[in-house]
Amino acid sequence: MLEFRFHGRGGQGSVTSAELLAITAVSDDKFAQAFPSFGPERRGAPVQAFARISDDRIRMRSKVYEPNVVLVLDYSLISIVDVTQGLVPDGLLVISSGLPVEKVRQDTGWKGRLAVVDGVNIAMKHIKRPINNTVMLGALIKASGCVSFDHMRKAVEDRFGRIAPVNLAAMTEAFDTATISEGA
Amino acid sequence: MAKRKGIESSIALADSAAMCRIEAISAYPITPQTHIVEHLSEWVNDGELEAEFLPVESEHSAISAACGMSAVGARTFTATSSQGLALMHEILFLTASLRLPIVMAVANRALAGPISIWNDHSDIMAERDIGWVQIFAENGQECFDLVPLCFKVAEDKRVHLPMILNFDGFIVSHMIEPIEYWEQAQFDNYLPAYDPQIKLDIRNPSMMGAVGVPEIYYEVKMGQHQVLLDSKVVVKEALEALEKQCGRRYEVVESYRADDADVVMVLLGSLVETCMTAVDNLRAKGLKVGIVRPRLWRPFPTEEFIESLGDIPVLGVCDRSYTFGGAHHPLASEIKSVLYGSGKAPKICEYMIGIGGRDIRVEEFEQMFMQLLEVKENGKDLPIQYVGVRS
């Protein structure tokens, strides 16, 4: 079973990205879950969402404490939230930043596998708003192969309708441009 | 078999209600509501469901309006949660005594105060004695499967009572998970059109809800109690018919790896799933642990529960709400009273878990099972264990 934790700010789409991941995994004929860290909804405040993907039925309703993958949608969170808390040593950190990999490693202290993508700029280019959830999914799929890109494309089309094309363009660019750095 | 799709449990539950061809929905549409009625309003607005959708100003009004619509013979559905259910309290007794087969989905959540929007069973345990049939779903698939079951039971002429479908707030209601949908034809095969025993009809005037003077009130209540007890047979039949329709077998009391168990856990709702993972982990280490859980809560399936226990010497019972000032919390109280005089006297350890959204992990269930195994060895009595509470 793979466990995921998403860090973002309210309004940025972290919950949606967890949901899209689970929907896609089910389309891939796997078992999956996605759920927010339930609480009052506050735009701009740090929020978390969780997902699980498994070949077998998932019988578990607790939060994710030892994720295999952490996605960070907002780089400014790393100074206020311990985003790598519980992340397993052979896990993957996917983070939105325009900074070089070395600088991201320095800022996060993460020595394991790392994927960096300039999420906000890619989102601004295609979606014209700093909402980078679909962008981050493109980087995640490239770095982990945890779900099929084609099924994710379908999930994004179903969810976003009219604005699906710009989201798909952003997701594709993230897939093409994400920098992946193997861990120490 | 239909392909599973990843979807939020509340949305799937709403789809299932719509596919039951409900004719009337009343709801207080804002918090503490789930996405259920919001999604049903889309079905109606899009013209895909021919139903009266009545948004009202409170849950007291929502259940009152539902009673009115059910009384004229409409298949009626509503949903609520937490404070909303509490606000319905007065009318819930009337719904049952008027024998109106309304189906209500309740996303189980805590009650204020302090203000809490999170999951536990405080809301439904406060409504234990309202006279409705009450059943628990553990996951999104069960939410989908059990809506038609509820209508089939509620509308059966031997029952004609309202029914609550309980499922955990947030950890089920807001979870995206794989759910296999039935085809519309399966719904139509399983659930015939509603044919009310009695309804308000201006062409054939009648009266509902008359005064019960002391010469009659007692007998009415006795009849109501008996019909609720007898509804268990109908629930069992409807579960069997459900298996023929969708291939999934549900029972009024279900066991998980309990046959040769030294100790079992008794609990309600979705934490059963987390507990199952703990059972699997401990079984892999050779420890004989299991689960016995009532799915039907009212009427309580006493005989089936006692039979399911076999000769298991130690039970853990997990409560998810308080009986303030009581000797035992609601589920433990029920289990102990059912066993007293049954000829079985297993040792019972009581646990309080998952209050107000407090997370419960697989490891915590494992620890509870280890404690039960210790009790089996040393025979000591444990005081009620408040799992994870800070002192």
- Both tokens assigned to A184: 């120490």
Q: What is the per-residue pLDDT across B171-210, written as a single tens digit (0 to 9) for each?
A: 999 999 999 999 999 999 999 999 998 899 999 999 999 9
Q: What is the pLDDT of residue B118?
A: 94
Please answer whether residues B329 and B323 qualify as being in contact, where contact means their C-beta atoms are separated by less than 8 angstroms. yes
Write out pLDDT tens, residues B313-339. 999 999 999 999 999 999 999 999 999
B253-386: what fold?
Answer: Rossmann fold (3.40.50)
Decide if B4-246 and B253-386 have a common fold: yes
Q: Report the pLDDT value the prediction gives residue A178, as an integer from 0 to 100.
A: 97
B4-246 CATH: 3.40.50.970
Query: B346, B314 in Cβ contact below 8 A?
Result: yes
A27, A40, A60 member nearest B274 (Cβ): A60
Size of interface A-B (CB pairs under 8 A): 71
Residues of chain A with Cβ-Cβ distance to B9 below 8 Å are: none
Is 60 exceeded by the pLDDT of residue B1? no
pLDDT at A54: 98
- The pLDDT score that the predictor gives to residue A11 is 86
Using an 8 Å Cβ cutoff, are A35 and B175 in contact?
yes
The radius of gyration computed from the CA coordinates of chain A, to the nearest angstrom, equals: 15
| Residues A23, B277: C-beta atoms closer than 8 Å | no
Domains of chain A and CATH, by start: 2-181 (3.40.920.10)
pLDDT for B175 equals 96
Domain residue extents for chain B: 4-246, 253-386
Check CB contact under 8 Å for B170 and A35: yes
CA distance readout (Å), B175 to A40, A73, B52, B172: 17, 21, 28, 5
Q: Which residues of A touch B (CB under 8 A)?
A: 18-19, 22-27, 29, 31-36, 38-40, 58-63, 65
Which residues in chain B have Cβ-Cβ distances shorter than 8 Å to A26? Answer: 4-6, 177-178
Report ipTM (2 d.p.). Answer: 0.94
Q: Which of B158, B85, B95 is nearest to B127 (CA)?
A: B85
B270 and A61 in contact by Cβ < 8 A?
yes
Specify the pLDDT at position B223. 97
pLDDT at position B261, please? 97
pTM: predicted TM-score of the whole model, two decimal places: 0.96
Give per-residue pLDDT as tens, B334-361. Answer: 999 999 999 999 999 999 999 999 999 9
Average pLDDT per run of 10 along chain A, which is 184 residues long? 96 93 97 88 88 97 96 96 97 97 96 97 96 96 97 96 96 97 87
Tokens for B124? 């439904």
| Contact between chains at B176 and A40 (C-beta distance less than 8 A) | no
Model confidence over B33-86: pLDDT tens digits?
889 999 999 999 999 999 999 999 999 999 999 999 999 999 999 999 999 999
CA distance B8 to B18: 16
Residue A149 sits at the vertex; the CA angle it makes with A111 and B2, to the nearest 5 degrees, is 120
